[in-house]
Structure 1
Amino acid sequence: MSLPPKPPSIPRDVFERIQKFHNAGGAQTTKPLKNGSASHTKISLNVAGGCASAIQWLLAVPNASRTILCANVLYSRESVVHALDEKNEEKKKNAKMRESFCDRETSKDLARAAYRKAIETHYTKKSYKFGRKEEESGNAKWTTTARHILGVGATSAFVSMSPKRGEHRCFVSVYSKFGVTTRKVTLDKESERSRAEEDRVASECLVRAAIGDGERWMKREEEEEEEDDDASFSGREDGEDESWKAFREGALTCKDDRLEFLEYDAPWFEKANEKMNTKKSLLERWLDVGRTMNNSGDGSGSSSSSSSSDDKGGASRNTPELSVYSMHGGKLETIGCSTANVVLSGSFNPVHEGHRGMLEAATTYLREKRNREKTEGGEDERAFLATPAFELSISNADKGQLETNVVVQRAKQFDSDGQNRLILTRDAPLFSQKAKLLPNTTFVVGYDTAVRLVDPKYYDDNADVMVRELRKIKDAQNCAFLVCGRKDDTSSSSNAFKTLKDIRVPDAVSDVFEALETFRMDISSTEIRQKLKP
């Protein structure tokens, strides 16, 4: 079968690169990874002030649905601020007060927002049509991985009716779990190019950046799969790349045109020390950079409560990338967020069948319940995709941060788990903090934790504060709690069992909690550790 002809508006070299990108699933290879997922890069874009041609080109080439998740064209300042979607009020205020919306930081922020929004929209909240081929064949796993998401952000200032005092320029950033690259194109103001012609040059830069970095990061992914965890992706000078040589020669044709590679930055990883013989994994480097930043919480509150003290320190002082490290099959899947929406928190010392059984029962219950509600309500018959994960908090309000070797050892327990994710969180011992980092999540908790969550003594003995904090978790973050029962050790009956019905939950927050009545396993980590002692 012959390939479709090139649309006349797309430069030939750019068309060929896009065509290869779409047809190869966004990379040079479609080799399956060790956890069974296929190597398909997906892209989400936020562009402001220009680069609309790039989106047109990407969508005009057949098979765009293999690689493009979403594309947003922004023009007003308000639309840019909205796209950044800052939850923190201080950050939101700073975003509105930016002196310029065409700079390096805005480009990086737009790329990061595109990455996070893509994961939330297409993975955390994802659903399938009943009877979809992948589900029927039992091979739906590859469709849900977010290991290969790229967020692309661009912000531009081009020629307009009134002459600009500053440069005609465009900043392009490409964001992935491995880091963010940023490039700047400066266009000759005296060239008399039209706005459409300037947009065409900037759009070509965006396409080359997204595809080129996607291929490099896919190579990095394969190196990691080959157990070379210290293999580095470095933002080399673009002049060394054949694609960028073609861009300089074919697009930057005016005297003062120039392309600058501004940075490759991954501040959430400690930089590899090439002088040291000992190689460190990505996880160890993530743990190390957090340890050196002295961002531990202030020690107040309870690890199972939702105390209002969470705004005084902890996760609110960390960027999401320093606070969330989500793994699947022993490898980094996403940074700063997670695809999971059913989460069981714990210390997992060790993880046991009780943990696994509880999470599996919760996942099955929620999937069946939500699918039943959709069918009964006459809604579109889409199956709710419940994505389970264990959450290990490496920081404890009372005990401080776990040592790196301890975290690595506990994380290894989940390396062979192809079904469940493992989420590592830093400085988020409170559920109010966890909810901010992991919105749209149902937290699976035990009876004792649920008791503490509705006990006013964990909220400065103020029942009104308790209600307000729990409502924030539900209303602002779209989170809730699924409560498992436990054996009643105080009862003389061996079959006595405490459930959510035994807890006095205020009416104002009754919708925040739900009982999981389909699971019981009387086992504890403490008992297992006691048995393992010599």
Structure 2
Amino acid sequence: MAANENSVLIERIHMVHKSPCKVVFAITGGGAEIIGELLRHGSGSATVLDAVVPYSTNAMDRFLGRKPEKYCSEKTARLMAMVAYQRALSLSKGNGPADHEVIGIGATCKLKAANEREGRGHEIHVSLQTACQTGVSTLELTADRTREEEEKVAALLIFNVLARHCGVPEIDFGNMDDGRKKEEVIEKYKSVSEPVGNLLSQQRCSQDSPYETHGVVRIGLNEPKAPRESGKIRLVFPGSFDPCHRNHMFMAKQASKKLDEPVYFEISLTNVDKPPIDFISLSQRLDSLKEYKDEAFMGGVCLTSAPLFLQKAALFPNSTFIVGADTINRIFDAKYYSSTADTPAILKHFKEKNVRFMVFHRKSCELYIKPDVLEFCEVIPVDEYEDDGTSSTEIRKTYENKQETLS
């Protein structure tokens, strides 16, 4: 980097340190030198709460709490940013920063490697997660650079994502192309309302607090159909809906017809064993539900931070939950919650909340319902509904493969 470019970077770094923003970084594959730049010029603790570099696949799997579908992708960068954001919330709690000043940045890169195969693409994905916004910047590197030059580009792109959020001018690194074709940074940003953001910024529900809840945010995909009793939700379909597909809709339609109630689709932003849902992913899931907004059974969407059914029952008392066979097998299993909840306590909680479960078969899934659980369940016979094997996972893979082919 030229001396004048370096002086500009140092100046902008000091401007970032003067902002109130607090950040946790998670960086892999390249660009990690930006961590050193932010720390070596003084006042780094004003901005950086923590930084991790999960470089091996094992380290990445542990950091995310799961094995990603691809290690270098926009989606993985968003997952990294979400985990970093949760870490930032934890580290800043009680230390003064407002929720909107706490951010997580995740970056995953595929840069020049020794003896790499011909045609291997070089790419950088940098994601930002805040209380009410998810953003991602993607740069496909097409110019021929050394590994060191690509590292600098990655570091500057990571810095620019941080600088923009801090209200600091970004660094123009287009001059590094030396007259070669300038690559384009592709950006996606999705924002949500403060009530939705609050669901994410609240303390994550844990298995050690299976009854803890944080409220519901209703979203109308269309003009909501009025429940039979004004303001009450009687029929709830919990799920990730990533994406929603025809089997979900068939279950909803059948349940609505049986109970003569509109269906409210519930999505928990937080999960027990996975990072919370970011707002780009949430937007995609809501779009898949909006395709069915004119269906007579559609009531709307409820967003929560209640990954456990004990929590859902507290949020939606006197309601019926639409579930599949694989789900009902674990709802009443104390191991699914924690040592603080045993089977009698679970049964008592559901009885007190007056909740029931409408159970639909899934293809190749055995249904085991104990006698003391049957009083809470209505099982839909196989001749009325049988899952045709459609999977949200397969739909996602097909979509992502098409996107890769188009790019």
TM-score by length of 2: 0.51
The reply on whether 1:51 has 2:16 as its aligned counterpart is no
Which SS does the other structure have where 1:143 is aligned?
A: coil
The reply on whether 1:104 has 2:74 as its aligned counterpart is yes
Instruction: Determine what percentage of the aligned residue pairs are the same residue.
Output: 18
Shift of 1:288: 7.5
Shift of 1:316: 11
Shift of 1:55: 0.8
The reply on whether 1:71 has 2:51 as its aligned counterpart is yes
Q: CA distance change for structure 1 residues 291 and 247 in 2, over 3 Å: closer, same or farther? A: same
Which of 8, 11, 34 aligns to 2:6? It is: 11
Contact 2:124/2:154, CA 8 A, preserved across alignment: yes
Distance 1:403 1:264 in 2: 22
Match of 2:99 in 1: 146
Which SS does the other structure have where 2:338 is aligned?
A: helix
Distance 2:55 2:135 in 1: 23
Which SS does the other structure have where 2:90 is aligned?
A: helix
The reply on whether 1:260 has 2:185 as its aligned counterpart is yes
Q: CA distance change for structure 1 residues 107 and 62 in 2, over 3 Å: closer, same or farther? A: same
Which of 83, 86, 89 aligns to 1:113? It is: 83
Match of 1:362 in 2: none
Which SS does the other structure have where 1:318 is aligned?
A: strand
Contact 1:187/1:256, CA 8 A, preserved across alignment: no
Match of 1:443 in 2: none
Match of 2:154 in 1: 202
Distance 1:14 1:434 in 2: 52
The reply on whether 1:320 has 2:274 as its aligned counterpart is no
Contiguous gaps of at least 5 residues in structure 2: 199-215, 225-232, 239-250, 253-262, 279-298, 318-327, 343-407
Amino acid across the alignment from 1:103: S
Distance 1:12 1:175 in 2: 28
1:144-174: CA deviations, max 9, x gaps?
6433111111111111112243322211111
Which SS does the other structure have where 1:159 is aligned?
A: coil
TM-score by length of 1: 0.40
Contact 2:27/2:108, CA 8 A, preserved across alignment: yes
Which SS does the other structure have where 2:30 is aligned?
A: coil
Which of 123, 138, 141 aligns to 1:169? It is: 123
Distance 1:434 1:69 in 2: 37
The reply on whether 1:471 has 2:396 as its aligned counterpart is no
Contact 1:183/1:259, CA 8 A, preserved across alignment: no
The reply on whether 1:243 has 2:192 as its aligned counterpart is no
Distance 1:209 1:60 in 2: 19
Query: Max radius of gyration: which structure?
Result: 1
Shift of 1:54: 0.7
Which SS does the other structure have where 1:163 is aligned?
A: coil
Contact 2:265/2:300, CA 8 A, preserved across alignment: no
Distance 2:123 2:310 in 1: 44
Amino acid across the alignment from 1:260: V
Shift of 1:201: 1.5
Which of 116, 135, 141 aligns to 1:181? It is: 135
Distance 2:197 2:15 in 1: 34
Shift of 1:13: 1.1
Shift of 1:428: 6.5
Q: CA distance change for structure 1 residues 403 and 104 in 2, over 3 Å: closer, same or farther? A: closer
Distance 1:56 1:155 in 2: 17
Contact 2:143/2:177, CA 8 A, preserved across alignment: no
Which SS does the other structure have where 2:144 is aligned?
A: helix
Contact 2:138/2:185, CA 8 A, preserved across alignment: yes
1:121-152: CA deviations, max 9, x gaps?
442xx6xxxxxxxxxxxxxxx62643311111
Q: CA distance change for structure 1 residues 75 and 67 in 2, over 3 Å: closer, same or farther? A: same
Shift of 1:432: 4.6
Contact 1:315/1:428, CA 8 A, preserved across alignment: no
The reply on whether 1:213 has 2:165 as its aligned counterpart is yes
Which SS does the other structure have where 1:120 is aligned?
A: helix
How many equivalent pairs are there? 257
Shift of 1:105: 1.2
